[in-house]
Structures are given as structure tokens and as C-alpha cells.
Structure 1
């Protein structure tokens, strides 16, 4: 067992249930295909990392899917809001004696191994690490102990999340990673040719 744990939050890939804002432009089938592609990308980025890894499913744990159970622990998200689901996942990790815990989503084509490695390294000298997303949220959050306030009173999915989170952490040392673009709406992919295959 490593002392470092990477939490990966995913949605179960079902038609009409994923990337709904993107689907308004490209349709449900293309949105599902794009999300499935992003899931595979997230697996490729994370599977060789030396930390422990845990996938948290939105609805139901899948036994036979892309996440190999010998590499990834599997759990179901618990809680009414995104904030509570993240808080509960962090709490479970710390209860299981992990010392550094990161969380990422599964919709970030720009994510690379180096971002996760840097985040764990920066937790040596910082209490919290945040990977800022261009839309005002964050694509990565890491900490060495639970900070419950950052999961409370947030308008999840809006442009104020990161600013509000940093306000909660004014008395803590925070390292900011490189800003990346997650995939939520058509504007996030329209200039990236890798997504053209899903739009024709």
C-alpha cells in the first residue's frame, strides 16, 4: 500500500447521462463517445502512476469495465451534492491511513502524468494543491488532511468555485498547478482536431 492515493471521480457512461451541456450542441451519442474517449485517456494517464488509485462511480460500481480491479480500487460515490461526495471520498481515504490524497475528474484531455506527480510532490511543502480549470473551477484537488469547509456552500459547476475555495484556504499554504481546460461544452473541444472524429 502506498501512502499516496489518487481518487478518480467518474460518471457511468450511459447515453443521455454524461456531458449533458456538451450534448446540447453535439447530441447525446457524440457526447457519450467523447466522454468514453476521455475515460480511456484518464486511464492511460493514471494506470502507471506509483500511487494507489481508486475509481469512484457516480451510480453503480462496474466490475467488468476499463478500470482493472487489480490496479484500481472501486467505490460508489456517497452524498447528495458533489461537495459531499468528494468530502466523503477524502474522509474514507484518510480513515484508511493515506497521507496524501488527490482527486481528479475524468473529462480532462489536457491532463498528463506530470500534473499528478507534481501535485503529490508539492504536498510535501503545502497543505493543499489545486489544479485550476479555465472555467473557474478546478480539475485537481489535493490535501494532507480533510478541510471540510471547501466542500460546503459552493455553486458546483460554476465559475466561482475555485475563487470561493481559495477564500476558504486563506490561512493555508496552497500550490496552484498549471491551468488546464476540462471538457464541458462545445467551445472546449471545437478547436481541438482530436475530437473531430466524434463530430462527423
Structure 2
């Protein structure tokens, strides 16, 4: 179990809200400009949940911000993430490798419980984030299942690299494969409520309809 004296840390995997970057499936259904507006809304909801959870967090951006040169200070927060330092995810690495590196750096910096989230889940709340870190007091791993077969949150109290290896990312096999790996490792897993991500026009319509 984690040392209660060690702080928790939240990793936020995000993109800068730039037209034409990210949300490609959503943009295919509603257009790039509308998809960008939805992504800005999702960013705001995620940022509010992170702020409300009052947990130290680092934002890991998929690409360097526009105009960010070598001398740009990552401790100077981005406009969407006031109060939080940011890093850039390793280029050309699979998602699992990028998450593993972010976890490794957080643990190396002294965190005792670490969780990662994305920015596609409007149902994520500060209460759920706090619940995730509470679960890591008595479990080895906590997962927030998404109804598309992935997860919106993964947390652990020490690094388990096998949970990030050999996954077909962005498919319905991610969650079951992760849980199977955790079982093979003998890890105690807690699960949060199932939520849904906004990846497509159909997902957006469900959200707007309140489903």
C-alpha cells in the first residue's frame, strides 16, 4: 500500500484547442470548427473537475504549443490549465509508452499515488477524481471504465509497465486487456462508475440528449 505521507498526482493527457488537431472522428461528423468548439467545452469541464479535486496535476500535451520555443517555461501554465505545469508527450511513441513515462516521472518526483485522465469524458467530476485516489489507499490499481471498451482513468500506487504494453489503443479491447493483465499480476483493482467518452457525432448526440 502507498505511503500516506506521499502526495497524490494527477496526469492530464490533453491537446491544445487548435482547429484541425484532434477529434478527427467527431470532426468527420460535424465539421472541424464545430468539433473544436466541443473540444473547448470538454477541456473546460475537465479543467473544472481537476481544479475541484484539489490534487497536484501535470498537463501532458500531445504536441508543443504553437510558438513554444526551446526556452518556453513548462512551469508557466497554459491558458486552459491555470495553476498547472505542462509537459510535452514523447513524439512518435505509442500511447502506452507515453503514459508509462508520465507515470514514471511522477513517481520519481515523489508521488505516492498517480492517475491519468484524458479530456474526452464530460461525466468526469472532482468527486470521481477524489474517489480514485481514495481507492488507491486500499487497492493497487483503480480504473474508470468507458462504455466504448476503453478507460477514462487509470491509477496505481506504483508503476506496472505491463498495464501499458501490448494494447490495441482506441479499441474496445483496451479495458478487458488491462484488467486481464492486472489479474495476471495479482493486483487488487477498484473500478469507478462507467462513463462515456465523446469521440463521434453519435457520442455527442447522446450527451446532448442527456443519455
**Both proteins in one fold, TM over 0.5:** yes
- 2:40 — aligned with what? 36
Establish whether residue 157 from structure 1 lines up as the match of residue 161 from structure 2: no
Matched residues in 2 for 1:128 and 1:191: separation? Answer: 30
- 2:133 — aligned with what? 120
Q: Which moved more, 1:84-93 or 1:42-51?
A: 42-51
Q: Secondary structure at the match of 2:96?
A: helix
- Alignment equivalent of 1:175, drawn from 190, 194, 201: 190
Matched residues in 2 for 1:166 and 1:192: separation? Answer: 27
Matched residues in 1 for 2:107 and 2:149: separation? Answer: 27
Compared CA separation, residues 94 and 31, structure 1 to 2 (3 A): same
Matched residues in 2 for 1:49 and 1:167: separation? Answer: 29
Structure 1 residues without counterparts, runs of 5 or longer: 196-200
Compared CA separation, residues 64 and 11, structure 1 to 2 (3 A): closer
Q: 1:50: Cα distance to partner? A: 2.6
TM (norm. structure 1) is 0.91
Deviations 1:18-44 (A, max 9, x none): 210111110111111101111111111
Matched residues in 2 for 1:83 and 1:89: separation? Answer: 10
Q: Which moved more, 1:74-83 or 1:17-26?
A: 74-83
- 2:56 — aligned with what? 52
Show the 5 A alignment for 1:64-103: 64-68=78-82, 71-78=83-90, 80-103=93-116
Aligned residues of 2:100 and 2:161 also touching (Cα < 8 A):
yes
Aligned residues of 2:78 and 2:86 also touching (Cα < 8 A):
no
Compared CA separation, residues 156 and 108, structure 1 to 2 (3 A): same
Matched residues in 2 for 1:52 and 1:194: separation? Answer: 33
Moved beyond 2 Å, runs of 4+: 61-64, 191-195
Q: What is the total number of aligned residue pairs between the two structures?
A: 193
TM (norm. structure 2) is 0.87
